[in-house]
Structures are given as structure tokens and as C-alpha cells.
Amino acid sequence: MLKALRVRASQGTQYITDLRKAVPHGFRGRPRISTTPCKEGCDACVKACPTDAIALAPFRLDLGTCVFCAECVEACPEGKLAFTADPRMGAATREALVVTEGPDRIDPVLTSRSLASVFGRSLRLRQVSAGGCNGCELELNALSNVNFDLQRYGIEWVASPRHADALVVTGPLTKNMADAVRLAWDAMPDPRFLVAFGACAISGGLYADAPGVDRSFFAEVTPVLYVPGSPPHPLTFVHAILDLLGIE
Amino acid sequence: MSAARLLLVPLDAAPELTVTEWRIALERLLRDDDGRVVTLFGTPNDERITITAVVEQGGSELRALRTVVERDVGYHALTPEFPALHCFERELHEQHGVRIAGHPWLKPVRFEVTGSKGRDAYPFYEIEGKEVHEVAVGPIHAGVIEPGSFRFMCLGERVHHLEIHLGYQHRGVEKLLLARDPRSLAPLVETIAGDTSIAHTWAYAAAIEALAGMAVPHEIDAARGAMLELERIAMHLAGLAGLAADVGFLQGASSYGRLRTTAINTSMRLCGSRFGRGAIRPGGSGTTLGAGPDLAEATNGAFTSTDLLRNLKLLSDDVAIIDDRFSSARTVQHRLRGVGAVPSALAREIGLVGLAARASGVPCDLRTRAGGVYEHHPIEACVEPDGDCWARARIRIAEIRRSLAWLSSVADAHPRWEAARPRIGALAPRQLVVAMTEGWRGEVVHALETDGGGGLARYKVQDPSFRNWLGLALAVRENEISDFPICNKSFDLSYCGSDL
């Protein structure tokens, strides 16, 4: 009993009071691209990027393929790119994941009125890993630990797709999981929606050209929410899902 | 001597043995000379396959034995005499089609060639009898975890046999590793097993440095060692949190869980990622201590050795309190003691590595025999005799303590770490390099072969999970099926690291 009380005392208060205001110090998050012109003919960042996330003239960085390795920052002779600790990067469309030059503007994910009215007070998620490296899986698990405590919003993980409202896919989608992902999706009752969590799920990421990958499921079902990162920070998911469901 | 275990062999000077010589040499090393196979893999060359066996002798010396076989002729399996080789021979057969006569069960390890249709050709073992029933689990599991298929053959509640069927996570890592400049593979290597990013990337970096003839400064070596221990502490805490949750001991689940947050957030302050992404690059480091990371200044004050030591002290103090509660709770002991035991002799026979082996009384820990940072800051292996779930929990508890003390001494001796990205020169042609690190699960092995132009001809990746999955299958025999989650969590093996 005494030992249990000692644990309780050492535990203190662990939950993050306001997830919307929390800053993940040190996190390599949302990139900022200055308007400094590139050196004539320089494509060092494009060459350094392992996932072809950067396009030039005009400068565009696709957060859906970026793995936040910062090789571009290392390669750029002009210091044009920098990563900030801002976790707010989720988007409801693939296009909204593209970051351009100039002053950064955070577009919150647009609230879906239809999803908000059905799931705004209770959302059940089923996760399926299809080639994920356990980075995304651990961050999704972290959402239900005592720090992030996502359940406070009525959002919880469930074991069966039959009980789920949304399917959260991690990993580039392997050939050997293609059938199982379809089965899980087909088992979910309407209304339902798909979330792509992490660069691998959004675009294939580092595995876009891998021989064991089959992304045809994403051609059939379009995600309603994209959560970038490799792996995404739990707060990136929190902001995105709360915005989508119109939760303050 | 380097902090990663290394073997560098110039291929043109390496003797190519006949299959018979190779076999005799290997048998002698394994049977008489206290040797063990570290890895065994094939390198294709048209219809002929070069087989490389890397053997560790007497717990220290590494040797490579190479032979060439015709794909269709192959050789006679070594598995019946040395069961630890079963997974290597299955992989050799699957990846290169080498005929291996006399292997008891050449079931593909990943179904990477045949895909899901190939599974039909290898149905699960069946047991006949009135009392027998089968339980199928997976590939999707009831939790936020990776996929794999388990088939339990049960007599009542008792598991008679478990067959583990993997490959669902197969992406084709080894082929992808050959597609880019070998010097810029770090981001990909970091995702081979994303919870073991540091151990894998360190092995990769050490291999490239050996091929480029580079030595890394002490500071970088120390920073890598520190990041590896942070990874170990974080994942051991995750393992203990999971075990606590699986036995319904919720105070343990929440306490170990939030302490893991402190550990991974410390990693994030040092390298920008909670999983050590970007921390290690060939020849260099992306880890900084004492100077602000190269991120937006507004949100990142400098993280100094004082901050690091404060976090380590907080972890030490609070981990000790929950350890005391967890270890003395009767409910925990009752669920974990004597469950899922792997006796020491069996662990050696099937070639278990890492924490699972140490929990079964096998004192194998690469850090105890490595140079570099481990020369100045030695670390001892933690060993438990019983091989059950309790022993695997105890190893984690002991290793967290030891790693925290080790980290503190390194942070004291090296209060400032700078990021560095030196240019890597051309890689030496026609070399075999094997680099090994002790990840939190066990030894991570990367074997690279360069061709005549210094490009890569072969990249063999081996996560400790590849060898340890059989340990889990054997651990649950004669246990109650309801104890499977505990057994599984106590091994905590990687699916993607094994499936590649």
C-alpha cells in the first residue's frame, strides 16, 4: 500500500492540460521556407531528398512525402530551409500538404460538418499497419497514454473494424497486407472514413518504389485526413482530428 | 577497436572453399570450437550463389567462411544438426532458390517471391485428435501493433504448438538499399525497424566508415552510444508498460508509460526526433548537446548536459519507485513467474540473441566486447537464469538501471556534442564488411559487399527478431493460451525488422 502511494506521489499530474497549446520542444516539425532566392542552377536540396519531396521554380515541399530527415537543410548553401517545432501539419486534402515559400500560414484542417455531426462527441478508431516500421504504431499508442489522453475527447481505439468509425492506416501498404486491409475496410459499417498516418501511408514515402508494395487500395478509397511525419508527432494527429471534427 | 563490432574482409584475398570444405570448417567451428553463427546469407551471381557464413569464435573473433553453390545442386542442410541455422537456410532458399536437401521445413520466411498465394502451399501444421482445437490469430491483431499470423494448436486450454507465419510487413528493404548511393541510405535504414533506428543506423554507419577507411572522433562515438542507450531505456520502459497492462497492473502501465515519454522526449531534444531519426549519419552525427539544435530558435533553447543529467536523474529516481512496486507486487509475480520459460540449453541450441538470450542465462552482449566508447565506459551484461517472462521483465529492469548509470557517466565525460557531416570518400572495392551493434532486442547485423567499382553488390540486414521468433513459438508450448499475450510482450519482437 505504501509503495503504491509512493508511485502515486512520484507520478504527480502527467496529462497535458491543453493539447492545443502544447509545444514539443526540439521536435523537427513544420518546415519554413524563406524567400531567399536559390543560387542559379542549384538543386542540392532536390538531390539530397530521399523521397523527392522537393520541387523547384516555384519552390514546393510536399509534407506528404517528406520524412523530416533534414538532409535538404544540410545540403542548401543558402539556408533557405528550416524546420520548426510546430506540429500543426495535418490536412484534409493531398494538395494542402504542400508548403511554399514565404511567411508560414497554418491552414487548420477544415471541419467536416457531416463528420462533426456524427462523430464530434464519439469516435472509434481501428488501426492497421501495412508495412509500418513501428514508429507510427508507437506514436498512435502514445495518444492513449497518460500524457496525451486522447480519450478525453471521446476518441478511442477499438479492436474490431466492426466497431470502428475510421480506419487509420500506417505503412506504405505491402502486397502481403493488401487483402487484409481491404477486408478490414469492408468490415466497417457506414458512415466511415479513412486516415493516412505518416509519410509511408500518405505517399509511400521511402517505400514508394519498393518491390513489396501495392498501393491500389488508396486508389479506391481516398483518405479524409492526412497526418504527415515519419513518424508524425501525436500532437500532429491531435490537431488534425480535432479540427476535422470541429472540437475546440 | 571500434564501438560497433566489425569484420572487414578483402574478397579477392578471401579463400573460396569448396562446399565440402566449407561444411567441414563450419561444423568444426560450431561443434568443437565454441563457435556460433552470426549470420549466413547468399549473394547471387547468375546461376551460382556465393554463401557467406560469419562465425563468432570463443565469444570474440569473427570469421567469414565463403563457398559457391549451383542453385539447382545446392547443398545438404545444416539445420538438422544445428537448429539455430533453420531461419538462415529458409531465407537462402526463399531469396535465391538454392536447393537445400534434408531441411525439415523450408517454409518461406517472408513470402517475398510468391506473395500471399504462396501461403496456400505451406498450410499450418495440423494435429489430429478429439481434444484438439486450433486458434487462428492475425494477420491484423486486436491492438495498435504490426501484423503477423499465429496458429495455436491446443489441447484444451494448453498450447501444444504455435506456428508463427510472417512476411506481411515485407517491403523489399534489401533491394531498395541497393538502389541508391550507399553513402546516403541513413533515412531508409532508420525505418528498417523504426523502434531500433539507432542500432540499425549505427551498424550501417560503421560499415560505411570501414569501407571508406574513416575513423570517427570520440565525441561522436560517445553521442552514438548515448543515443543507443536512450533507445534501449525507452523501449524497455515500453515493454514493461505493456507487460504491466497485459497482467492488469495499471499503475505499472501508466507509470512506465509516462517515463518512456521522458526518455523519448530527451532523444527529441538531442536530435529532433523521439525515435532517434537523424541522430546518426555515416562519418558523422546529427546529435547536439550544449548547443541549440539547428531548428527554429524560438522554440528551442539549448539543451545542455545539465538538462540531460537532470532528465536522467528524474528517470532514475522515478523508475526505482515503480520498479520496487512492480517487482514486489504478488499479482505481477504470480502472472509472470514460470510462464513461457526457455531453458538455457534450448536458447543456445536455437541461437537466441539479445535480451531473450540473457534472460535464459546466456551472457551475450556485444557491448561487453566492443571498443570505442565502451573501452572508456565499460558496461556489464545483465543475465537472469530462469528464461521465463519474469526473467525477461527483470532483465529490462536491470538494464534500464545500468544504462541510466552508464549514460550519466558518458554525459559527465562528454558535456558537449556537436553535429558533424564530413564528406565520405569512395568505398573500397571488392570488400565484405560485417558491422554489429547491440540493439535493445539484441544484436543487429549489417553485412555489405562492394563490387569492383565500390558500389554495393549485396546488403544483408538482420534484426535480432529474425532469430528470436522461434524462441517465442517454443516458449508458449505447454503454457495456457491465455498467457500468450504476456509471452509475446516479454519477447516484444519486430515484425518489420524480420520481414524487411
| pLDDT tens by residue, chain A, 248 residues | 899 999 998 888 888 999 999 999 999 999 999 988 898 899 999 999 999 999 998 899 999 999 999 999 999 998 999 999 999 999 999 999 999 988 767 777 888 889 999 998 999 999 999 999 999 999 999 999 999 999 999 999 999 999 999 999 999 999 999 999 999 999 999 999 999 999 999 999 999 999 999 999 999 999 999 999 999 999 999 999 999 999 98
What residue of A is the nearest CA neighbor of B302? A26
| Structural domain includes residue A237 | yes
Q: Of the given ranges (A38-52, A154-168, B125-139, B220-234), which has the lowest mean pLDDT?
A: B125-139
| Structural domain includes residue A80 | no
Question: Which phi and psi angles does B16 have, rounded to 5°?
Answer: -100, 110
Smallest Cβ–Cβ distance between A176 and the set B116, B269, B275 belongs to B116
Amino acid at A248: E
Q: Do A133 and B496 count as a contact with CB atoms less than 8 A apart?
A: yes
pLDDT at B294 over 70: no
Find which of A33, A146, A176 to mutate to test the B interface (most B CBs within 10 Å of its CB). A176
For B279-380, list the strands marked E by DSSP. Answer: 280-281, 284-285
Q: What pLDDT shows up at residue B131?
A: 83
Smallest Cβ–Cβ distance between A134 and the set B172, B321, B494 belongs to B494
B405-421: average pLDDT: 92
B49-54: average pLDDT: 96
Q: How would residue B297 be classed by pLDDT, with cut points 50, 70 and 90?
A: very low
Q: Do B268 and A142 count as a contact with CB atoms less than 8 A apart?
A: no
Q: What pLDDT shows up at residue B431?
A: 96
Domain ranges (residues) in chain B? 9-110, 121-169, 181-491
Q: Do B147 and A130 count as a contact with CB atoms less than 8 A apart?
A: yes
Q: How would residue B293 be classed by pLDDT, with cut points 50, 70 and 90?
A: very low
| pLDDT > 70: percent of chain B | 97
| Structural domain includes residue A213 | yes
Q: How would residue B129 be classed by pLDDT, with cut points 50, 70 and 90?
A: confident
Q: How would residue B116 be classed by pLDDT, with cut points 50, 70 and 90?
A: low
State how many domains chain A has.
Answer: 1
What's the CATH code of the domain at A146?
A: 3.40.50.12280
Tell me which residue of B5, B96, B296 sits closest to A31, measured CA to CA. B296
What residue of A is the nearest CA neighbor of B257? A145
The CATH H-level superfamily of B181-491 is Cytochrome-c3 Hydrogenase, chain B (1.10.645.10)
Determine contact: B34 vs chain A, CB below 8 A: no
pLDDT at B298 over 50: no
CA distance to partner chain A, nearest, from residue B1 (Å): 30
Determine contact: B205 vs chain A, CB below 8 A: no
Integer Cα distance of A156 and A126 in angstroms: 9
Chain A 154-193, residues with CB within 8 Å of chain B CB atoms: 157, 159-160, 171-172, 174-180, 184
Strand (E) or helix (H) holding B41: strand B35-45
Q: How would residue B299 be classed by pLDDT, with cut points 50, 70 and 90?
A: very low
CA distance to partner chain A, nearest, from residue B473 (Å): 21
Determine contact: A89 vs chain B, CB below 8 A: no
Q: Cell triple for residue A44?
A: 542540392
B463-471: average pLDDT: 97
Chain A 195-234, residues with CB within 8 Å of chain B CB atoms: 200, 206-207, 209-213, 230-231, 233
pLDDT tens profile B349-370: 999 999 999 999 999 999 998 8
User: Which residue range(s) make up the domain with A219?
Assistant: 113-244
Instruction: Give the bridge partners for B44, in sequence order.
Output: B49
Tell me which residue of B151, B185, B145, B146 sits closest to B165, measured CA to CA. B151
Integer Cα distance of B368 and B402 in angstroms: 13
Q: What pLDDT shows up at residue B451?
A: 93
Q: How would residue B291 be classed by pLDDT, with cut points 50, 70 and 90?
A: low
Instruction: State the ipTM, two decimals.
Output: 0.94
Q: What pLDDT shows up at residue A230?
A: 96
| Structural domain includes residue A216 | yes
The overall average pLDDT reported for chain B is 92
CA distance to partner chain A, nearest, from residue B255 (Å): 7
